[in-house]
Amino acid sequence: MSEPLKSNNAYSIADPTEFSRNMMKVAGQSQRLITDFLKNQAKSGSNGPTDPLGLGQTFVDFLGHAMRNPGHLVEANFKLWQSYMNLWHHTTQRMLGQQTDPVIEPSSSDKRFKDKDWSENQIFDFIKQSYLLTARWMQETVADVKGVDDHTRKKVEFYTKQFADALSPSNFLFTNPEVLRTTLQSNGENLVKGLNNLLIDLERGKGQLAIRQTDMEYFEVGRNLALTPAKIVYQNELMQLIQYMPTTEEQYEKPLLIFPPWINKYYILDLGEKNSFVKWATSRGYTVFVVSWVNPDAKLAQKTFEDYMRQGIFEALDAVEKATGVKEINTIGYCIGGTLLSATLAYMAAKGDKRISSATFFAAQADFSEAGDLQVFIDDDQLKNMEDQMTAAGGYLDGAKMATTFNMLRSNDLIWSFVINNYLLGRDPMRFDLLYWNADTTRMPIHMHMFYLREFYRENNLAKGKLMMAGEKLDLGKVKIPIFLQSSKEDHIAPYKSVYKSSKLFKGPVTFMMAGSGHIAGVINHPDAKKYQHWINDKVPERVEEWIATSTEHPGSWWPYWDKWLAKLSGEKVLSRTPGDRKLKVIEDAPGTYAKMK
């Protein structure tokens, strides 16, 4: 029989006197927290819309549809009542010492309820199941409302999930067994430390909560991140070009040029010794170049998507040719860097420019018709509010706002888990290079970013063949070079269904591959780690479901599979090139000035 809370178990106060002292400290810190918050609110005033996401009107419209069918709401409430009755019956049986199956269980990937007392303790088990029943009821009820347009439905479903996630009992002191035990056993020291962490994060965010996901003081680009030997060999106002030192006596004739996303820094490809993609690529005999985008400020606010093509891709291609003497170049585009590369390939095809001989896409979309939850943020009202905020800020979107949007896509992992760890448990953030990179945000110039959101996410004009750039209507059907599409099974930013659609847009030979994990770990998965898996298929049928059904699963990293594909397209082996040995001189050591810009 499982045990309820008792005074002589782990839920007893260790030292009542010390506990009282710490509660006094908590009260003092809370008072300071409230005072500082009110001061910051007074300083900031009320500039900007009170409802920038347009949630108020969205839910009003949605509830209007729901009320047209009151029978549906009555039935939904009756089902919820039945679920509660089943849960009460289950709990009563447990209290009587009987074994009974749970009414509802969290998914195997849900990390919120891993503590043993969520299952073994009757009270916490009841709290957990009651929450899961309510959360499921909320989301199912919203999903079943008839007559709602797709965008409104997706928006309501997304924010209903955000609301349900925020109300999870794991997020509160008295309903989280681990937090409650820690509080009682440490005499409240965790709450004192947690409030101090909260105050530090508010000061970092200048009144806005800037949750630390990792130890921000431990990591430094160029000291313990981005250490693969390389040089900056070219730069302009938008990017620096990095050329990596060779690690083999010979290299493939065709160099490899990588365009990372400018939403974050390039060094996701070179985090550390054991997970560096560029270090591994050099060891395979490739001459590797990577674009390191600038972190733009108000001076670059007028830069456009076309500028990123001309000063990013075209000038990098010219520079690589000068550095190697080779005109035909293999390329990689990651995330938005891949979207830019797709558009550029269509433009080059229209112009007869054949300098790019193959393109690999990491988690990159060209067709945005199934772009996932990010589409929730893309409607006319939200885009107009965003544009107004960017104009008021000096012509750019602050990187922290972009990071918050991405974190909301996985709020339990990227928001609430840190609230629990940092503020309720009072622990210091862990040291994790990937999370430091995630927090090392960059700004978005207004014209470039609004063009990207409207033309790609909102209108999907590249996939429709309607996108105009630099005076050309872009047609991906004219792109005939070999294409390699990498996707990830759990990618919440570039869903594999969306990535697969590109296989029908390009008209040359296309290879599609799906990796395990998500947007980052699915890409950055060194073979030595022996993690996850990947699926391959020689055929590219019409639907991704058909591709999956006939694919073959392989353990571990997909990098060697890609290497075999690219090696065949890279020419003969030549003597290795060293940065600065041809027409481009070394400017500075990598990672370079741009990567360190805050």
* Catalytic residue IDs: 335
Helix, strand, coil percent values for the chain (each to nearest 5) = 50, 15, 40
Position 516, amino acid? G
Two tokens, residue 15: 């030292």
DSSP state of 245: P
In sequence order, what E strands does 274-383 have? 288-293, 329-334, 356-362
Residue 284, φ and ψ in degrees, nearest 5: -90, 0
Any idea which residue has 């001309």 for tokens?
Answer: 310
Number of neighbours of residue 140 by Cβ within 10 angstroms: 12
Which tokens is 19 given? Answer: 């506990």
Write the single-letter amino acid at 152. T
Cα gap 62→376, rounded to integer Å:
15
Give me the residue label for tokens 């806005």. Answer: 208
Residue whose token pair is 């994990």: 517
Say if CB 335 and CB 270 are below 8 A apart.
no
What contacts 168, CB < 8 A, 6 or more positions away?
112, 131, 135, 412, 416
Q: What Cα–Cα distance (Å) separates residue 353 from each residue in 334, 356, 528?
A: 22, 8, 38
Q: What letter represents residue 131's amino acid?
A: Y
- CA gap 20, 455 in Å, rounded: 59
Angle value at C-alpha 295, between 496 and 313, nearest 5 degrees: 60
Mapping DSSP to helix (H, G, I), strand (E, B) and coil, where does residue 25 land? helix
Structure-block tokens of residue 117: 């007392």
Q: Rounded to a whole number, what is the largest CA-CA distance in the chain?
A: 83
Residue 468 φ then ψ, to 5°: -105, 130
What are the tokens at 269? Answer: 């490809």
Residue 81 CB: number of other CB atoms within 10 A?
Answer: 11
DSSP 130-180: HHHHHHHHHHHHHHT-SS--HHHHHHHHHHHHHHHHHT-GGGSGGG-HHHH
DSSP line for 83-100: HHHHHHHHHHHHHTT---
Distance CA 106, CA 108 (A): 6
Determine phi and psi for 71, rounding to 5 degrees: -60, -35
Backbone φ and ψ of 569, nearest 5°: -105, 10
Could you give the angle at which helices 189-204 and 16-44 cross, rounded to 10 degrees?
Answer: 20
> How does 106-126 read in b/e, with b if 16+ C-beta sit within 10 Å?
beeeeebbebebbbebbbbbb
Report whether 597 contacts 239 (CB < 8 A): no
